[in-house]
Chain A
Amino acid sequence: MDKEITETLKTPNTLMVGVVTRGQGSRMMNLLRRRGAHYAVCTFAEGTVPGHILKMLQLAKTKKELVLAFINDEIEDNCYRGLSMDLKIEQPGHGVAFSIPLCGNPTAPEKTELSGALIIVDKGKGEDVLDVFDDLGLRGGTMLSAYGGASIAKILFDMPVQPEKEVVFLVTPSEKIKEMLTSLETELQMSEPNQGIAVTFAISRSIGLFTEAKKGS
C-alpha cells in the first residue's frame, strides 16, 4: 500500500485511454485507480466490429465504454500488467488500451510506431468517417456522441443551443496517418469551414490492438 501512495503523488504525464465492453468501464477505472491513476472518467461509446456480412446486416456495431485516466509514466508498466492480468485485455473482443504522452513526459519518444486520430464532425457524419476508414482498411474506430462547437451559432426556438456532434477515435500505424487525412479531406471536405476537425497525436504504448498476428492466434 505504501508504494502505491507514493506513486500517486507524482504528477501525471500520460493519458491512458481504454475502450472496453459495456459494463467493464468501472472495473477498469477501479483497477487503474488502485494502481495510482490520478483521475479516471468513463463514458459510453460505440465500437465497430470487422466483417462484411455483419456490415451488410447493419450489425457491425457494439456498445463500448471509453475510459480516460491520467497516470505517471512510472506506474504505466504496472497498469498495463493489471489490464492484461485482470481484464485479459489482449484477448480478441475484450478491448484495447493505449497511452498518449503528455507534456513533461521524459520517456516520450520522438517518433512512434502508432498514432492516434481524433475527428469531430456533426452528428450523423461519424459513420461517414468510419466508412472512410473502412475503405482504407483501417480497423477499430470508436464513436461517441458529444455537444458543442467553435461558437454557439445555432439558434432554435429563439434560444441558442449546443449543436450535436460525433467524435471518432482511431489508432493506426503512423505511416497511414497522412493517407487517412487526405482521404478525409477528399471525401468529407474537411478543410472547408464548418466541416469538422481532425487532430492526430502520438501513441507511446498500446495493448489489445487488432493486428494480423492477433488475428492468427
Chain B
Amino acid sequence: MNEKLKETLLSILPITLMVLLIHFSSVATLDSTLLTRFLLGALCMMIGFPLFLQGVDMSIVLMGEHMSGALVKSNKMSIVIIGGFILGFLVNAAEPDVHIFSRQFADLTMEGLSHWIFVLIMSAGFGTMVAFGLLRIIRNVKMRFFAAAVLLLMLVLLMFTAEEFIGVAFDTYGATTGAIATPFLLALAIGVSSKTRRSTEEAAESFGILGIGSVGAVLAILVQGILMKGKPIAPPPDAAAMSADALNHGQFFLKNLVETVKEVSLGLSPILISYAIAAMFWIKPKKRELRRIVLGAIVTFLGLVVFLSGVYFGFLEASKDLGMQLAQTGRMWIPLTVGGLFGLVTVFAEPSVHILNAQIEEETMGSIRKRTVLWTLAIGVALAVTLSVLRILIPEFKIVHMLIPTLIAAIALCFLVPDIFIGIALDAGGVASGTMAAAFILPYAQGLAEHTEGASQLIDGFGIIAFIAFVPILSLLALGLIYRIKAGKSANAKDN
C-alpha cells in the first residue's frame, strides 16, 4: 500500500508543482477559478490513479491473458488472425480519441462524409496490424524486420499523401491506444507469446503490438489521403472550444463527469462484451477469477472516471490559459522551456506509461528497470514538446521536416539495437501520446498558437501528438543502443 501511495505522489505531484511554480513565479498567473479547478483536478487524479492501476492489474490484464489462451488453444492460425482482427478493431473503434480525430478527418472532406467511415477505416487498419502482430509473435519473425518494413511503408506513403492529411494522420498514432486498450492488448500479446514459447530467449518478443496496431491506423489514413489527393479540401473549422466560464464549478464538474462516464463505458464495453462471449464458450474461467475480473472492472471504471474527470476539470483550461499568457511574454525561450518541462512531467502522470513500464519490468525480470524507461520516455517527450512549440513559433518548420528524418533514423536503428527495444519503442510512442498529452500539452500548444502571429491554431496545433509519439521512439531506440554498447563492453571485458 505504501508503494502505491509513493508511486501516485511521484506521478501526479511533479505536474502539479510545475504549474504552481509557474503560477507563483508570476511569469503567468492563473485566476482563482482556474487555480481552484486545477487543484481539485489534481486531487481527483491522485485518487483515481492508484485505483485505476489496481483495477487494471486485477481485471483487464487477466482478461487479455485469458483471451490469448482462448486464441492459442484453438491451435489454428486462422482463428488467431480473425480473433486478433476483431479484438483490435473493437478496441480501436471504442477509443474516444479515435472519434475526435475521425471528426476532424470528416471535416477535411468537402463531401460531408460521416465520421464513422473514418472510424471504420482506422479500426480496420488497426485490427489488421494487430492480427499481423500476433502472427509475427507465433511465427517468431524478428521484430527488426517487421518494424523496419512497416516504418518504411509509412515513409513511402507519407511522400504521396495529401499534405493536409499528414499532421492528422500521424496524430492517430497517439490516438489509437488509450488507457484501457493499452493493458488489454499488451496482456493479449504477452499471453500469446508466452503460450507459444520454445526457448526462454523469446521473452523479448512480446512487445510492439500497440505500436504495430497504431501503425496500421496511420497507414489506413495515409492511403485515404492518397485517394483524396487533388480533391478540394475544406478549410478547417473553428475549434469548438468548451466555454467553461459560464458554468459554476459544480455544473462544470457534472458536465465533465457525464462525458467521462460515457467515454470510459464505451472504452470498457468491447473488452467486457467480447470477454463475456469468449468466457461462455471457450475460456471457462474459475469462480475466483471471475470474481476478480468483475471487481477489478468496477475499480478500473471508478478509477479512470475519477482520474479523467480530474484531468478535464482542472488541467485543460489551465494549460490553455498558461499557453496564451506565455505567448504574450514576447521572449521565445519562456514558452519553449515551459513546454519542454511540461512534456517531462506529463509523462509521469500518464497511467498508460505506468502500465507499459510495469509490464516491461515484469517480462524482463527486472533487467530493464521501470525508472530507466520512464526517464528515457520523459526526455523524449520533453524534446518533442519543445520541438512542437518551436514549430508554432517558426512557421517555416513543417511537420515533415521532423517526420522524415525520424522515420529514416528509426529504420536505421532497427538494425542496430536489441529486438526488445524496438517493440518497447513502438509501444512507448503510442502510450506517451495518451490522455495527458491530449488534455494538457495540446491545449497548451493551442493557447500558444492563438497568440502567436502567423500560426494558425488548427493547422499548427495538429501534429503535436505526432511529435510526442515519434520522438520518444527515437529516444528509446537510443536507449537500446546504449544497452547494446554496454553489454558489448562487459562481454569484451570477460573475454580478455
Q: Please determine whether chains A and B interact with each other in the same assembly.
A: yes
Q: Contact between B195 and A58 (Cβ–Cβ < 8 Å)?
A: no
Q: Which chain A residues numbered 158 to 211 have a C-beta less than 8 Å away from chain B? A: 159-162, 164
Closest A-chain residue to B59, C-beta based? A58
Say yes or no: B194 contacts A164, CB within 8 Å. Answer: yes
- Chain A residues in 8 Å Cβ range of B196: 156-157, 159, 161
Given A43-B365, A44-B366, A58-B58, does the pair A162, B292 have CB atoms closer than 8 Å?
no
Q: How far is the CA of A59 from the CA of B75 in the complex (A)?
A: 34
Count of residues in A whose CB is under 8 Å from the partner chain:
19
Contact of B199 among A42, A59, A162 (CB under 8 A): A162
B202 shortest CB reach to chain A, Å: 9
- Distance in angstroms between the alpha carbons of A22 and B369 in the assembled complex: 12
Q: Is A147's CB under 8 angstroms from B200's CB?
A: yes
Q: Looking across the interface, which residue of chain A has its beta carbon closest to that of B285?
A: A124
Contacting residues of chain B (91-119) with chain A, CB-CB under 8 angstroms = none
Any A CB within 8 A of the CB of B339: no
| Contact call B75/A156, Cβ cutoff below 8 A | yes
Chain B residues within an 8 Å CB radius of A161? 195-198
Name the prevailing secondary structure of the B interface residues. Answer: helix
User: What mask results when residues 168 to 203 of chain B are scored 1 for a CB within 8 Å of chain A, else 0?
Assistant: 000000000000000000000000001111111000
Q: Does any Cβ of B come within 8 Å of A127's Cβ?
A: yes
- With A44-B362, A127-B288 already in contact, the answer to whether A159 and B198 are too (CB < 8 A) is yes
Q: How far is the CA of A43 from the CA of B363 in the complex (A)?
A: 11
Q: Chain A residues with Cβ under 8 A from B366's Cβ? A: 25, 42, 44, 65
A50 to chain B minimum Cβ distance, whole angstroms, is 15
Instruction: Report the minimum CB–CB distance from A132 to chain B (whole Å).
Output: 13
Q: Across the interface, which residues of B come within 8 angstroms of A150, CB to CB? A: none
Q: Does B308 contact A (CB under 8 A)?
A: no
Bound form: Cα–Cα A180–B54 in Å: 32
| Bound CA span A162–B362, Å | 19
In the bound complex, residues from chain A placing their C-beta under 8 Å from that of B194 are: 164
CB distance from B361 to the nearest CB of A (A): 8
Q: Is the CB of A156 within 8 A of B296?
A: no
Distance, CA A25 to CA B366, complexed state (A): 10
| A157 CA / B75 CA spacing, docked (Å) | 6
The CA-CA distance from A43 to B286 in the complex, in Å, is: 28
Closest to B75 in A: A156
